Amino acid sequence: REQARLRAGVVEQDTEQWQKDPNFTGLERVGGVDLSYVKGDDTSACASLVVLSYPALEVLYEDFRMVAITTPYVAGFLAFREVPFLVEAVQRLQQEEPRLRPQVLLVDGNGLLHHRGFGVACHLGVLTDLPCIGVAKNLLQVDGLVRDELHREQIRSLQRSGDTFPLTGTSGRVLGMVSIHSSRPLYVSVGHRVSLDTAVRLVSSCCRFRIPEPIRQADIRSREYIRK
């Protein structure tokens, strides 16, 4: 019920002026979030938020907190396990460095590409009211989408970094987009307050390697934090 209530708040269109500009003029800060678990312990993790300059993609801000995970993992409800810690990180940033508040968040996970159309990127977006984009490394098999030979053939047909094809479910709805980077696919979907086209273009512009830099830096730095 809670998921359905929050789902009603998702905005699937561009709401910001910079999103309407082909070069994203006016976009200066892009955030990335990640939860890295301690190896061998699924109840202890590091919640991380980084903010990068745009388009230079240099780290302006980083926040790491070790957190105790008490909510069990249930497929389709990952957000209830992880999002509260990410919301707290955004709130800390707004209190400590409000001028560095990100204009968009890239999330390691799915948005509308989800069994009930409300993945972790949607959940975080609605609770923070920030534009959010879901970026997943693997295909969530939902609404008839499967990682079969046809899907693999479509991926092989993508020639250049940034090439895409839509993920259309059996319902006829486009749930996300496959985008190729470093010869391997990413699964991009709308989280909140952004259109799919804008989401895909922004993710591509943030990729130095396969994973967009905001998420990559959040992951690398949180793992280093755990190691230390």
The CATH code of the domain that includes 70 is: 3.30.2170.10
Q: pLDDT class for 142, splitting at 50, 70, 90?
A: very high
Domain presence at residue 3: no
pLDDT at 176 (0 to 100): 98
pLDDT at 35 (0 to 100): 94
pLDDT at 160 (0 to 100): 85
pLDDT in tens, 23-52: 999 999 999 999 999 999 989 999 999 999
pLDDT at 85 (0 to 100): 97
Domain presence at residue 19: no
Percentage of residues of the chain with pLDDT beyond 70: 100
Domain presence at residue 88: yes
Domain presence at residue 56: yes
Check whether 135 has a pLDDT greater than 90: yes
Judged on CB neighbours under 10 Å (0-12, 13-18, 19+), 109 is buried
Q: What is the number of structural domains in the chain?
A: 1
Domain presence at residue 126: yes
188, containing H or E segment: strand 184-192
Query: Cα separation of 97 and 91, whole Å?
Result: 10
pLDDT in tens, 173-187: 999 999 998 778 999
Check whether 82 has a pLDDT greater than 90: yes
Q: Nearest CA to 166 among 191, 194, 197?
A: 197
Check whether 19 has a pLDDT greater than 90: yes
Q: pLDDT class for 162, splitting at 50, 70, 90?
A: confident
Q: pLDDT class for 4, splitting at 50, 70, 90?
A: very high
CB 122 within 8 A of CB 192: yes
Residue 64, CA distances (Å) to 35, 102, 181 in order: 10, 16, 28
pLDDT at 121 (0 to 100): 98
Domain presence at residue 215: yes
Query: Where in the sequence is the domain holding 63, given as residue range(s)?
Result: 27-227
Check whether 206 has a pLDDT greater than 90: yes
Q: Nearest CA to 208 among 144, 153, 174, 162?
A: 162
104-108: strand order across its sheet: 59-68, 41-53, 29-38, 104-108, 132-136, 184-192, 174-181, 164-168
Domain presence at residue 128: yes
CB atoms within 10 A of CB 55: 13
Domain presence at residue 214: yes
pTM above 0.85, yes or no: yes
pLDDT in tens, 87-96: 999 999 999 9
CB 34 within 8 A of CB 219: yes
Check whether 56 has a pLDDT greater than 90: yes
Q: pLDDT class for 159, splitting at 50, 70, 90?
A: confident
